[in-house]
């Protein structure tokens, strides 16, 4: 592909059970992998997780969550008190706005690109989840509504970036 088309903006979807051979192929081709911050906190005692922002590498794309995850707010609401305490300890303060704390983690990562689902930018709960894998009904129904634009997201992003 590179011989025919040159360098393309391709990233490797390297989530799940990934072998050393797959990692070697990804790295040989200098393809950025994925780091989903939500995955970093699935265990309260996993400081070696590649998903924790302090373990990110520059050649990765950072996500708060993906289309297959619950929104950050929905996911956080279902965490145990022990898990919430571990997240607060990692972030360095009590969690008031889970989505925006995770957005800040994504933006602060050394990863070359950060992607945040609109549902997280809008701090929406589980009702805005895009997809639940292996569930045949009710997926892909969420739609961005025109009135969401008045929630001040643009200004918050501007303040966080600059």
Residues with Cβ within 8 Å of 133's Cβ and at least 6 positions away in sequence, in order, are: 68
Mind listing the pLDDT tens digit for each residue in 41-69? 987 677 889 999 999 999 999 999 999 99
Instruction: Kindly report, residue by residue over 63-84, the tens digit of the pLDDT.
Output: 999 999 999 999 999 999 999 9
Q: Which pLDDT score, from 0 to 100, does residue 53 have?
A: 95
Q: Are 34 and 49 in contact (CB under 8 A)?
A: no
The single-letter DSSP state of residue 71 is P
pTM: 0.90
- Which tens digit of pLDDT belongs to each residue from 141-157? 999 888 776 678 888 88
The tens digit of pLDDT for each residue in 108-150 reads: 999 999 999 999 999 999 999 999 999 989 899 999 888 776 6
């Amino acid at each position: 592909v590179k011989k025919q088309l040159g360098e393309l903006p391709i990233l490797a979807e390297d989530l799940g059970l990934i072998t050393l051979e797959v990692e070697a192929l990804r790295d040989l081709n200098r393809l950025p992998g994925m780091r989903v911050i939500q995955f970093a906190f699935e265990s309260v005692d996993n400081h070696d997780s590649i998903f924790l922002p302090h373990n990110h590498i520059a050649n990765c794309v950072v996500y708060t969550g993906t289309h297959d995850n619950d929104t950050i707010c929905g996911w956080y609401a279902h965490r145990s008190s022990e898990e919430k305490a571990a997240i607060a300890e990692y972030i360095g303060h009590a969690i008031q706005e889970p989505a925006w704390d995770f957005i800040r983690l994504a933006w602060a990562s050394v990863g070359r690109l950060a992607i945040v689902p609109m549902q997280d930018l809008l701090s929406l709960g589980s009702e805005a989840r895009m997809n639940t894998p292996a569930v045949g009904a009710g997926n892909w129904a969420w739609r961005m509504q025109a009135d969401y634009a008045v929630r001040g997201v643009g200004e918050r992003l501007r303040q966080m970036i600059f």
